[in-house]
Copies of this chain bind each other. A is one copy, B any other.
Amino acid sequence: MSEVAKPERVVTACLVIIGNEILSGRTRDANLPFLATELNRIGVRLMECRVVPDIESAIVETINEVRRKFDYVFTTGGIGPTHDDITADAIARAFGVGISEHPDAVDRLTRYYADPALFTPPRRRMARIPHGATLVDNPVSVAPGFRMENVFTFAGVPMIVEGMFHAMKHELVGGRPLLSRTIRCSQPEGFIAEKLGAVQQRHPDTEIGSYPAFRGGKPSVSLIIRGTDPARVQAAFDDLIGALIELNAEPEEIPVS
């Protein structure tokens, strides 16, 4: 007896990466792959990512667009002590609220920088939090992130993003995680595409992606089957393996690392 599928609401998220260093090509972002993977584990699907410069109006406009469009929004970057750290002010402006020192944030930073000479005015700026926001713990370097309604503001340094995410993830309410199976095959996309499209049509509740690459100079293809229902993912997987064997495409499952 197979279970009757209930109509499923997908819980969505958008990542907003704030930083000229990403847009200039100097720094390669590492937060998207981390957040995408971790969010999926708890049933939240990353549906869009935007990289925006350190310009307040650009951040405000983007935040106000995406916070209405997605269940959760995460921002990374721009909450440090320097003049180019403008994210907290931009979030306050996006929500039309004030911003000032949060007593609990001041407290945490005062304890961390035990010597008052080290607790410089720029470091004290990191205690400025938009009114109405709650703090997100920073287990790495103390200066907190914050949550404003459905928007979570994190630092940019990957180690801190990871710490903040694990500190707040219990606040997220997800749906069913997206399961995935990956098959690599030895025939190029143009050769398998017709049968692949037919498999996709027979399994509309799964989503089959085809990703070409060059391996040792030769074209190769990874096929990924994604879906929330284990039985349906398995059925699509079996069907696809059969189709690839027929095509002499030597299918091989790639285990999840």
Size of interface on A: residues with Cβ below 8 Å to B: 66
Give A66-89 as 1s and 0s: 1 = Cβ < 8 Å from B's Cβ atoms: 000000000000001111110000
- Across the interface, which residues of B come within 8 angstroms of A20, CB to CB? 207, 209, 226
Residue from the list B82, B120, B193 in contact with A82, Cβ < 8 A: B193
Given A120-B191, A193-B120, A23 contacting B50 (CB threshold 8 A): no
Residues of chain A having any CB pair with chain B under 8 Å: 20-30, 32-37, 40, 46-54, 58, 80-85, 113, 118, 120-123, 125-126, 141, 157, 159, 178, 180, 189-191, 193-194, 196-197, 200, 207-214, 219, 224, 226
Q: In the complex, A135→B207 CA distance in Å?
A: 30
Cβ-defined contact, A58 with B48, below 8 A: yes
For this complex, 27 residue pairs linking A to B, each with C-beta atoms less than 8 Å apart, are: A22-B32, A23-B36, A23-B46, A23-B48, A24-B46, A24-B226, A25-B36, A25-B40, A25-B46, A28-B30, A29-B32, A32-B51, A80-B189, A81-B189, A81-B190, A82-B189, A82-B193, A82-B196, A83-B196, A83-B208, A84-B200, A84-B210, A85-B210, A113-B190, A118-B190, A118-B191, A125-B193
Given A83-B196, A193-B83, A49 contacting B51 (CB threshold 8 A): yes
* A interface, over-half SS: mixed
Cβ-defined contact, A210 with B52, below 8 A: no
Among A32, A48, A81, max chain B CB count under 10 A is at A81
- Across the interface, which residues of B come within 8 angstroms of A30, CB to CB? 28
